[in-house]
Structure 1
């Protein structure tokens, strides 16, 4: 299964899939990313995979179940592993500066986005345009991930290394800056050439500057 994008390598949603089911999974990711979930039928997914439509329903209850088998592993990986590792060891090891932490988060997620760009496209489309799916996705975000991120921000506040905004405001500020970069280079203009290192550094610098206490 190492040809499947990174978030599915150890995912329970894809554990034990047959070769036919893997073809269906790959086909669904491709077509949902290219056409959108609403504009893709299970018949088209099956034809693109070169299998019968009935093969889909041997593993997935319906098209929505197939969609969430794609999205749920993404939701578990929205926040980077570095956040959880830092939170668990916050009493032993701390980032020396806000920039070190922001750089770790942005670089980590940049790699994640590049490895999983098709799934990111599906996530963005459904999160923006389908309220029912958005509500279900929000409920599926692991509570521990949110708690860990809050713990980190609270630690920075205690050390006066970050502005005393609400944690949701800080998260939104970080996410908005990074998502602007992701949207331009991976969703809107994917063929546009750019200096990745320079733009990532500028994104990190702008976030840090905006979040530093006066």
Structure 2
């Protein structure tokens, strides 16, 4: 196994004792995660997963009837028990801190999410690949992460609107625009063009400038170099 396995796999090892997961089941899960991450669900085979796990292919089918059952049975619990807490736990520390300006808040959020993406790259890659095509995963993500996050962000947008820092558009419109810009930056940085020579500090500041140019309530605010 890759020594740089995502942190949540260590958490899964701890959960295995609680849920009485066998050593073979744990190996299958780890192998499936690595294979799905490297090749994508559609291009992965159970024979490859079995070989990587060091088990017979029949062992997989004793636990999961199909490859899709393997994906759903593994990734969905990982999202509900491990990924979601990682997404929300550290992020909530940022979301609930008081920042004098919206720009300071955005700077903290982008830095926090970049650090998260770097630490849990394999997990995020699987979710990005499979959520659009797997209704079960999409529903879980919406219920566990998106809905909670949207409620929190709505309150934060209203807070900065109340301070006169953000234009008076519906908060969810502001959130969608901001989230799309931030997620687009992180996707480009971590997955699409990760080998470019990125200057993260400058890129973060440029991203903030673009967002604030769109949502700032201050007319003709000066651009920063």
Q: Which TM bucket (shorter chain)?
A: 0.7 to 0.9
Tell me whether 142-151 or 155-164 shows the greater mean CA deviation: 142-151
The TM-score normalised by the length of structure 1 is 0.78
Q: How does 1:21-60 map to 2 (within 5 A)?
A: 21-53=25-57, 56=60
**Shift, 1:44, TM fit:** 2.3
CA contact (8 A) 1:8 1:14 kept: no
Task: Name the structure where helix makes up a greater proportion of residues.
Answer: 2
Say if 1:10 and 1:133 are closer, same or farther in 2 by CA, change over 3 A.
closer
**Which of 70, 83, 95 is residue 74 of structure 1 equivalent to?**
83
Question: 2:177 aligned to 166, 173, 178, which one?
Answer: 173
Distance 1:81 1:145, change over 3 A: farther
What residue in structure 1 maps to residue 123 of structure 2? 119
User: What are the within-5 Å matches in structure 2 for residues 173-212 of structure 1?
Assistant: 173-212=177-216
Aligned partners of 1:20 and 1:51 also within 8 Å: yes
Q: CA RMSD in A?
A: 3.1
Determine the structure 2 residue equivalent to 1:95. 99
Alignment length, in residue pairs?
208
Q: Which deviates more, 188-197 or 130-139?
A: 130-139
Query: Which ranges of structure 1 fall in alignment gaps of 5 or more residues?
Result: 88-92
Deviates more, 1:204-213 or 1:8-17: 8-17
Q: Note if contact 1:76-1:141 (Cα within 8 Å) is conserved in structure 2.
A: no
Give the match's secondary structure for 2:197.
coil
CA 1:58–1:164 in 2, change beyond 3 Å: closer, same or farther?
A: farther
Q: What is the match of residue 90 of structure 1?
A: none
* TM-score, normalised relative to structure 2: 0.75
Query: Which residue of the partner structure matches residue 222 of structure 2?
Result: none
Structure of larger gyration radius: 2
Tell me the alpha carbon deviations over residues 39-75 of structure 1, each in whole angstroms, 9 at most, x when there is no partner: 3233322211222345557777831211213433334
Bigger shift: residues 11-20 or 177-186: 11-20
Q: 1:213 aligns with which of 189, 200, 217?
A: 217
Residues 23/116 of structure 1: CA separation in 2 closer, same or farther (3 Å cut): same
